[in-house]
Structure 1
Amino acid sequence: MTITIYHNPKCGTSRNTLALIRNTGEEPEIIEYLTQVPSKLRLQELISAMGVPVREVMRQKETIYAELQLADAKWSDDELIDFMLQHPILINRPIVVSEIGVRLCRPSELVLDILSKPQCAAFNKEDGEAVIDAAGKRV
């Protein structure tokens, strides 16, 4: 099975997650969800597979979240998903799909739990934080 990452190349967490996937020797399918917005059904499937509340998949720090008053409890899950589709910047990232599972990878090292192949080399995040040591083990 191919690994898929719903990716925003402007996001450091997303870039680090992609790099950790590639550090296994795998080249994932990359979906830049800001321009390749998933269908409503696909987004519902991803959220269901992650087993998390819809709000956990929303970027609450985005200005549009406050502007639309999305913190208000009046919105149904279905309505929140519609907002994410209308404003894909509200979709939290990165979401990774593998044969082991689906996960919102914040922080990026959460991706390690759903990768079937081991890390091939030492890995540091963009900020220098060590994640994988020279022996390929989690730090």
Structure 2
Amino acid sequence: MITIYHNPRCSKSRAACELITTTYNNANEATEIVEYLKHPLNVEQLKQLNAQLGCAVRDMIRDTDAEYKELRLSDVSLTDTQLYEALANHPILLQRPIVVRNGRAVIGRPPENVAALFA
């Protein structure tokens, strides 16, 4: 199963979906596309996704959105718990797309990053 946390308004997210469909998913694995703005992840789901990514919580956060500045998320004293809560409450802050396959995940920025899941 391939899961893509997707924002259809994002060109990088659309490009990653296209690459998976046309290039990487040769075995025609089942694919679930989750529009995370319509179906936000809760804190526990974000923690699981973070474990699959194997990165710092901050690496999951888009620091270019207005909410990032409004919420003062650049403050290094914020705990991981506070960052997870910010992501859960403001899903627009989640990096996109995030692709999960076989218990591993990558951030598809650039879209070619998803190739690592199919190697």
Give 1 or 2: higher helix fraction: 2
Aligned to 1:115: 118
The answer to whether the Cα contact below 8 Å between 2:57 and 2:80 also exists between their aligned partners in 1 is: yes
Could you tell me the percent identity over the aligned residues?
A: 37
Aligned to 1:16: 15
**Secondary structure at 1:30 match in 2:** strand
Alpha-carbon offset, residue 60 of structure 1: 0.2
The answer to whether the Cα contact below 8 Å between 2:8 and 2:35 also exists between their aligned partners in 1 is: yes
Aligned to 1:76: 79
Equivalent of 2:101, from 93, 98, 101? 98
Distance 1:70 1:83 in 2: 8
Could you say which structure has the greater relative contact order, defined with CA pairs below 8 angstroms and 6 or more residues apart? 2
Alpha-carbon offset, residue 115 of structure 1: 2.2
Q: How many pairs does the alignment contain?
A: 115
The answer to whether the Cα contact below 8 Å between 1:100 and 1:114 also exists between their aligned partners in 2 is: no
TM-score, scaled relative to structure 2 = 0.91
Alpha-carbon offset, residue 100 of structure 1: 6.3
Alpha-carbon offset, residue 4 of structure 1: 0.5
TM-score, scaled relative to structure 1 = 0.78
The answer to whether the Cα contact below 8 Å between 1:100 and 1:115 also exists between their aligned partners in 2 is: no
The answer to whether the Cα contact below 8 Å between 2:52 and 2:103 also exists between their aligned partners in 1 is: no
Equivalent of 1:33, from 30, 33, 36? 36
**Secondary structure at 1:43 match in 2:** helix
**Secondary structure at 2:5 match in 1:** strand
The answer to whether the Cα contact below 8 Å between 1:40 and 1:82 also exists between their aligned partners in 2 is: yes
- CA deviations 1:88-128 (Å, max 9, x no partner) are 00111111011262111111001011026xxxxxxxxxxxx
**Secondary structure at 1:4 match in 2:** strand
RMSD over aligned Cα, in angstroms?
A: 1.3
Aligned to 2:65: 62
* AA at the equivalent of 1:99: N
Stretches of structure 2 lacking an aligned partner (at least 5 in a row):
none
